[in-house]
Structure 1
Amino acid sequence: MDDYMFREYVKQAKPVAEETSYLEIFSYSDPTRNTVKEEPLPTGELENFLHQQGAFQPPILPTGVTRVAGLRMILQQKASHPETFSPQYISLKQREYVSMVETMRLPYRGIESTSAVGPFFWAAFDQDEERPHLQILFRKSDVRKKGLTRGWELMLSHDMRGGMTMGYCKGTSSSDIVECVRHLKACALQIGHPMLLPTIIFSHDMSSKTDIKQREARDWLRKLEHAVSMRQEIDDKESYVDQDGLVDFDLINRHLVECHSQVLWKRPKAYMQILQSFDEAMELFKSAAENSERWQGELKRLNASMLSRHEFYRKKLQGIDSYAYTTLQRLAIQRSALYNIIAQRESKLNFQMAGEQRKLAHASKRDSGAQKTIALLGALFLPGAFLTSMFSMSFFNFQNGVVDVNPEGPIVSESFWIYWAVTIPLTLLIVGLWHYWERRKEMRYQEEDLLLEKGVESMEIQIQAQMRRRTMSKVSTWDTKAS
């Protein structure tokens, strides 16, 4: 079943080209013959490397010298294709990929793990009872940034009888694969253990960068606490408050989100599960190798050392988990406090808007009063104007000289000045009284506006006081004696 599914997945996979090299490390009973070799691997030489033909033939050993352990790997340490770690993508041609997996006895399930998310580890023996191989899968390749996939993957197959480890390793430049391979070459005497390279990769992945990121997140949190809760745990020059005493709440909100994301980086629980899988793989290897001659001596000590290192990382991850949990809880408190501050600001803004709306309502009322005044004045003066037009007939005689023979023609009465003598002062008096009345109303309106603003402020104070009383009442209902 495995081989059928493997070939079906290979048919569906899309190949991409990557720069390829190979690594050979051999350890002999004569330490002077130990070799470490890493060179580019041309595409046409892949089959020769897999079958140890041509330039890759094993050396002829002198009598009495035997190979203790060995490692042969195909490396793609600086994968650069944008889709190199996308699901159902492989970095070799389909025929070459099938040949590599079958010749090196790599796990068929490797191609099925291309879509795995998070750190992924799997180890098990194949079904060959005569010459069993411990197969290992280890990868972290679910990241895509700026259109490029990132990560690394490792496939290993360890011959339990011959001590030879075959494998394939790929990683992007953002991963630590180059440093891990350099570390592996420095540990050439310990290549007999199949978990050596996975442990090296895990060690680099769990380097001090993880602790430093958590420390930086905690420092960032202190700055946010100073901005939101005014906790005095940082220098004033590091705060979010500018020289004018203003705080950018939008910036604080964005930084809260970014700080939360940084705390969640490399979740400790996921890596503790990887360590648990490591221990299970170590137990598989120990149960199969402890009865052989190779188990005695260096291999047994290396196994104990690696188990101790795994326990060290487990304790370290437990500390990171507790540290991150505290940071997340404090971030949640600051986020809640920030939302409360923003809600209070919005409430105050709503009060101000309500006050402005009341002012507009009063202004509309005043305008309507002014219109009524104008209408009243018109109503008062309209009869007078009408009567004036009526009385004006006594001051003008347009019929003079028309109905009689008076040569003077139409005449104006000598008493016409009385009209102006009465009309002008009366008009000025009425306009002056109206202007005085309007000034009095404006002063009264200003006093009403001040009282309105004070009413809005007192309303806000009253509501806040009620909220405080409700909060204190909740606190006071806590039965401390009963608890």
Structure 2
Amino acid sequence: MLKARHDELLEHTFFSGPVASGSSDELQVVEMWKYAGAEKVEEGKNFRHASLPDHEVELWLAGEEKWKPLAPSTGAVLEGGIRLLFCERVSFRPPGFGMSREAYLAVEREFELPQGTLDAAFDYGGKFFKKFQYSTDSSLEKISFLLKAPQKMPIANYLLALSHNISTGMTTALIHGAFLHTVLPVIRSSLLEAPIVYTTDRRHRDYHRFNIHVHDKQITQSSQIISRLQSSISQWANPMLLPIILMENHMIRSRLFAHDLDDQVIALERQTGVVFAGRSVRPKELAIQPEQIPKVSIRKLTQDMHTLLTEIIFYERVLEWSFDCADSLQQCTGELSKSVLPESRTGLYESNRDMLETIEYLAASRKSMSNFQRTSKERVQSQIGVLYSFTAQIDNSINAKIAVSSARDSSAMKTLALITTIFLPGTYIATLFSMSMFDWSSTGSSEADNPDTVSNKFWIYWAVTIPLTLLVMILWRLWWLWQERLYQREVSEAVEKVMDDEA
């Protein structure tokens, strides 16, 4: 089934073909030969690091022409070594290899890489696979590893496919990953005035926090891995060396990323203004006050908070993979120590004790890293709660102002209606009967002597009153619309004023 899966994925994998010389995507090889008695790394004698053109891949695999194995002196006893190929991941979906298809298949064949190598390249969540191959007499013959880090660019996104021959002590491996030979991109903060940029100086300061000696070339993933290999010459024949170095490199980068996250959380806490955040990097004076929430969109601040929370959640997934991988490496080292080895390789037993100590140290760091991630997550969730509380306070203030305004308008209308109700009947009757249309001055007692009480010009009253009433109603309606618009504008201004006051 793995073979069928391999052939299917091969058709969906992108191969860039030959890469221009000098490009960061160019293939690079690192070769180390462990000779008995050699305790120093010497370029051209037991160590080689060079760029590899695509058309020379098969020559390199065969160890021909300029790629012949190195030796410090004639007759030196070879105990083992490492042949490592760095290949840049030139695309993400589908995964791309910075080499031709033919070159990849040749590497896969000659290095005897696990059949799940391509499948691991398509895995974005992280993977760990190991296989111990035994002979008929139960002695260990071969070890294979697949280690794929979860895709998290500020930390790492690489794949290690490895095969180790127990009898020869040679490890052949492929490291396929993104930004192997360039400074990694980092988390960009929308909460800070300027994004965090990892310059060489900044990276040096970061590594000094962990007491790691670095030089200018060690700020890339490949140079860090190579430097670690150079400092481990006594372990070059150990199959656990490369997986442990990658695991160590991944954990260091995870811790650096955790510091970046902490910077983001502190910036967030300072913006909400409810904690004295970042006191360790500022003068400890009582006069220092938390910063207030800036006059920006609440939606923008909410977006920043949830973006940071998502980063922390993804970081949690990366840590879980790291811990599982460390446990698996610890088990593999234990199994290797218990395996039956050829007489020429019994030195692995002693070597494995050193490897096991390193793995145990990496595993022990899980608690502090896990606690750091958990507290960072809780701090961001706390700030989200503060923001929601702040928003609720604004809403309550607005509702209170609207209620007061409505009550004021309602009281005015009720007062006006009451006064009108009291005075309108009397005013209307008095005005009506005082008009000249009514003649109340007649004193005659007979019907013939008294003229009509209602004047024949009474129609004039209605001719004037009705149009005037309609005009008044129209003017009142226009005034009402104007007042409604004015009220809406005042409410909007009140809302903005509350937002500014709270900020």
**TM-score (ref. length: structure 2):** 0.64
Compute the displacement of 1:10 (Å).
1.0
Q: Give the aligned CA root-mean-square deviation in angstroms.
A: 3.9
Query: What is the 5 A alignment of 1:27-426?
Result: 27-29=34-36, 31=38, 34-58=45-69, 64-76=75-87, 79=89, 81=90, 83=91, 85-126=92-133, 132-143=141-152, 151-173=157-179, 174=184, 176-207=221-252, 208-210=255-257, 212-213=259-260, 216=263, 219=266, 223=270, 227-228=273-274, 237=288, 239-241=290-292, 253=302, 256-257=305-306, 260-261=309-310, 263-264=312-313, 266-267=315-316, 268-288=319-339, 290=341, 292-296=343-347, 299-366=348-415, 368=417, 377=427, 379-387=429-437
Paired amino acid for 2:368: G
**CA distance in 2: counterparts of 1:95 and 1:221, whole angstroms:** 51
Verify the 8 A CA contact 1:20 1:40 in the aligned structure 2: yes
**CA distance in 2: counterparts of 1:67 and 1:210, whole angstroms:** 40
SS in 1 for 2:273: helix
Compute the displacement of 1:238 (Å).
6.2
Deviation readout 1:378-423 (Å, 9 max, x if unpaired) = 55324323348x699xxxxxxxxxxxxxxxxxxxxxxxxxxxxxxx
**CA distance in 2: counterparts of 1:52 and 1:381, whole angstroms:** 122
**CA distance in 2: counterparts of 1:73 and 1:63, whole angstroms:** 24
Q: Is residue 2:8 matched to residue 1:3?
A: no
Compute the displacement of 1:44 (Å).
1.1
SS in 2 for 1:97: helix
CA gap of 1:377–1:135, structure 2 versus 1, over 3 A, is same
Compute the displacement of 1:331 (Å).
4.3
**CA distance in 2: counterparts of 1:215 and 1:367, whole angstroms:** 62
Of structures 1 and 2, the larger Rg is shown by 1
Partner of 1:21: 28
**CA distance in 1: counterparts of 2:165 and 2:267, whole angstroms:** 50
**CA distance in 2: counterparts of 1:228 and 1:60, whole angstroms:** 65
Partner of 2:460: none
Verify the 8 A CA contact 1:229 1:337 in the aligned structure 2: no
Compute the displacement of 1:156 (Å).
1.0
Compute the displacement of 1:75 (Å).
1.4
**CA distance in 2: counterparts of 1:115 and 1:259, whole angstroms:** 26
**CA distance in 2: counterparts of 1:376 and 1:284, whole angstroms:** 110
CA gap of 1:120–1:232, structure 2 versus 1, over 3 A, is closer
Deviation readout 1:339-388 (Å, 9 max, x if unpaired) = 33432432232222122222233344455557666786455324323348
CA gap of 1:220–1:301, structure 2 versus 1, over 3 A, is farther
Deviation readout 1:410-456 (Å, 9 max, x if unpaired) = xxxxxxxxxxxxxxxxxxxxxxxxxxxxxxxxxxxxxxxxxxxxxxx
Verify the 8 A CA contact 1:156 1:168 in the aligned structure 2: yes
Verify the 8 A CA contact 2:27 2:98 in the aligned structure 1: no
**CA distance in 1: counterparts of 2:37 and 2:308, whole angstroms:** 55
Verify the 8 A CA contact 1:160 1:288 in the aligned structure 2: no
Compute the displacement of 1:111 (Å).
0.5
**CA distance in 2: counterparts of 1:230 and 1:182, whole angstroms:** 41
Deviation readout 1:63-107 (Å, 9 max, x if unpaired) = 642211121122125x5x3x2x33454443333222211111011
Verify the 8 A CA contact 2:47 2:70 in the aligned structure 1: no
Compute the displacement of 1:222 (Å).
6.1
- Identify which range, 362-371 or 154-163, moves more after superposition: 362-371
CA gap of 1:330–1:171, structure 2 versus 1, over 3 A, is closer
SS in 1 for 2:239: coil
**CA distance in 2: counterparts of 1:53 and 1:231, whole angstroms:** 61
**CA distance in 1: counterparts of 2:323 and 2:368, whole angstroms:** 12
Compute the displacement of 1:45 (Å).
0.8
Deviation readout 1:298-352 (Å, 9 max, x if unpaired) = x444322221122222222212223433443454445435433432432232222
**CA distance in 2: counterparts of 1:63 and 1:19, whole angstroms:** 33
**CA distance in 1: counterparts of 2:98 and 2:244, whole angstroms:** 24
What are structure 1's unaligned runs of at least 5 residues? 393-483
SS in 1 for 2:48: strand
Compute the displacement of 1:161 (Å).
0.8
Verify the 8 A CA contact 1:23 1:37 in the aligned structure 2: yes
What are structure 2's unaligned runs of at least 5 residues? 18-24, 185-219, 442-503
Verify the 8 A CA contact 2:45 2:71 in the aligned structure 1: no
**CA distance in 2: counterparts of 1:94 and 1:12, whole angstroms:** 12
Paired amino acid for 2:125: G
SS in 2 for 1:386: coil
Verify the 8 A CA contact 1:223 1:239 in the aligned structure 2: yes
Verify the 8 A CA contact 1:119 1:271 in the aligned structure 2: no
